[in-house]
Amino acid sequence: MLKLKFFIKTYLSIAILFYVLISLENWIFDNANFKFNKLSLFEALGFGVFMGLFFTIYLFYKLEQLGLKEIKEEDLKPFQQRFVFSTLSEDEIAEKLKSKAPEFHIKGKDQNGIILKKDWSLESFGEKITLKPEKRQDQLGYLVTSKPIFYQWMDSGRGLSNVLKLQNLLTNQ
């Protein structure tokens, strides 16, 4: 059911956007007396189905590669946040990041903790990641947050991957 819901959301988003772009292009360049074009509508619907299937299959494949046995709706979102219990200091985390996870670029530290950045790729426009020290249940830990630099409603699991990698890094002493 979750796959179907994600497919419909993706399909409709892409089909509508593609139809608007085709119509705009036709209106500007082809015909000053633009009329509703049924062919463009079918092209957009077909493209939406194709891309909806592609992105749905790709995203769920990437999430299964991360080792998720049960995928939940919040796992599909680019904004990810998890609390991780850890006794590491910020300096120890910085050293571990440099040696074991060089794909995370340390941008600095502030009152909210360590700020990381991940570069653009084919799967994402990049992410801003924060490790905020907190105390929960009388234990120290970090609130790990990964959010895309630009707005996007789908990221091929990059946000969740970032959080899980950092969770593993913080818990494996």
Mean pLDDT of 30-52: 78
The pLDDT value given to residue 7: 94
- Going from N- to C-terminal start, the domains of the chain cover 2-65, 77-171
Q: Is the pLDDT of residue 57 over 90?
A: yes
Q: Which two tokens stand for residue 43?
A: 């092209």
Which residue carries 């970032």 as its tokens? Answer: 162
pLDDT range class, residue 15, cuts 50, 70, 90: very high
Angstrom distance (rounded) from CA 161 to CA 65: 10
The pLDDT value given to residue 56: 93
Mean pLDDT of 27-52: 77
Class of domain 77-171: alpha beta
Q: Is the pLDDT of residue 31 over 70?
A: no
Beta strand extents in 65-138 (DSSP E only)? 80-85, 105-110, 113-118, 127-136
User: What is the tens place of the pLDDT at every residue in 91-125?
Assistant: 888 888 888 888 888 888 888 788 999 888 777 78
Mean pLDDT of 79-93: 88
Closest CA to 149 of 113, 167, 124: 124
